Structure 1
Amino acid sequence: MPYVTLAQLTDRFGEQMLISLTDRGVDALGVVDTDVVDRAIAETDALIDGYLARRYALPLSPAQPMLVGVAGAITVYNLHLFEAPPKIEADYKDAVRTLTAIAQGTITLSAAGVEASSTGSTGAQITDRERPFTEDNLKGFI
């Protein structure tokens, strides 16, 4: 299941914006091109999964509400063929910062995590080596 749907994008950004970003044919039809939106959503899902894969078991179930906004901002940014407006670009950068924070563990999602790889040891291992300076070989220096 994608992190954001066409209905959620329409609700958040408006149908007119989505039409202007996706109606790319020679003859404008005045409707949202769902194929273009689906490709952008798939690219966004792949990006988000790339950030989350080391920390969480994918696919995330249930859907995380925080990721809907993140996915929406990234998808709309990716739909722009040319330079995005400053607000869209700022939202995109905030979304990527949020994903980075999730990947680093600063922000935690309420989802099942991936088990950390273990070496089978229980903690620190200490090894002692022969000491190069001993009481016997330092006689006369102390």
Structure 2
Amino acid sequence: MTYAVKQDLVDRFGATELIQLTDRTNMPPSTIDDVVVGRAPADADGVIDGYIGKQFDLPLSVVPPVLTKVAADLARYYLHGEAADKDSIVSRNFATALSWLKDVSKGLVSIDDQGETPEQAGGGSIRANPSTRVFRRDTLRGY
């Protein structure tokens, strides 16, 4: 399942940024390289599936808008590669997206996937029978 496509990246970050990040043949850069742009969202999809697959059945029936944003932020970071400054908005958005995905995988955050959430393991009950206590007043007399 694809969470973000080329047009999502263009809409969020602008064609100029994508041209600068992907055109490796023309000087000055003038076109968006579809192969390079396609690889980044595919990598982001793999990361997202790894996290949300713990809580949701994959593939999702509908892609929630929040996952499109997360995928776009991850893909943008992957396009920047090692050139991404640690203090830049690109790196901060990447770290925020990963943190959010970790919360989803732990069940702290839910996403609306228009489907069913798998049942949690466990769910049993605990029973206690107070009449069979070992330590009672009459058995501890004298201590």
TM-score range, shorter chain: 0.7 to 0.9
Is 1:89 the counterpart of 2:91? The answer is yes
SS of residue paired to 2:81: coil
User: Which residue of structure 1 lines up, in the alignment, with residue 119 of structure 2?
Assistant: 115
TM-score, structure 1 as length reference: 0.80
> Runs in 1 of length 4+ with deviation above 6 angstroms?
none
Q: Which amino acid aligns with 2:4?
A: V
User: Which residue of structure 1 lines up, in the alignment, with residue 55 of structure 2?
Assistant: 55
Render the CA deviation track for 1:80-108: whole Å, top value 9, x for unaligned.
13231411111111111111222222221
User: Which residue of structure 1 lines up, in the alignment, with residue 126 of structure 2?
Assistant: 124
* Whole-Å separation in 1 of the counterparts to 2:141 and 2:82: 78
RMSD (Å), alpha carbons? 2.6
**Any conservation in 2 of the 1:22–1:37 contact (CA below 8 Å)?**
yes
SS of residue paired to 1:114: coil
User: Identical aligned pairs, as a percentage?
Assistant: 31
Instruction: Structure 1 unaligned segments of length 5 or more: list them.
Output: none
SS of residue paired to 2:109: coil
Q: Give the aligned length.
A: 137
Q: Which amino acid aligns with 1:93?
A: A
SS of residue paired to 2:12: helix
* Whole-Å separation in 1 of the counterparts to 2:126 and 2:54: 24
Q: In the superposition, relative to structure 1, how do residues 50 and 126 fare at CA in structure 2: closer, same or farther (>3 Å)?
A: farther
User: Which residue of structure 1 lines up, in the alignment, with residue 71 of structure 2?
Assistant: 71
TM-score, structure 2 as length reference: 0.79
* Whole-Å separation in 2 of the counterparts to 1:36 and 1:126: 62
Q: Which amino acid aligns with 2:110?
A: T
Q: In the superposition, relative to structure 1, how do residues 57 and 139 fare at CA in structure 2: closer, same or farther (>3 Å)?
A: closer
Q: Which amino acid aligns with 2:97?
A: A
User: Which residue of structure 1 lines up, in the alignment, with residue 80 of structure 2?
Assistant: 80
User: Which residue of structure 1 lines up, in the alignment, with residue 107 of structure 2?
Assistant: 105
Render the CA deviation track for 1:48-99: whole Å, top value 9, x for unaligned.
0111011011111211011111111110001113231411111111111111
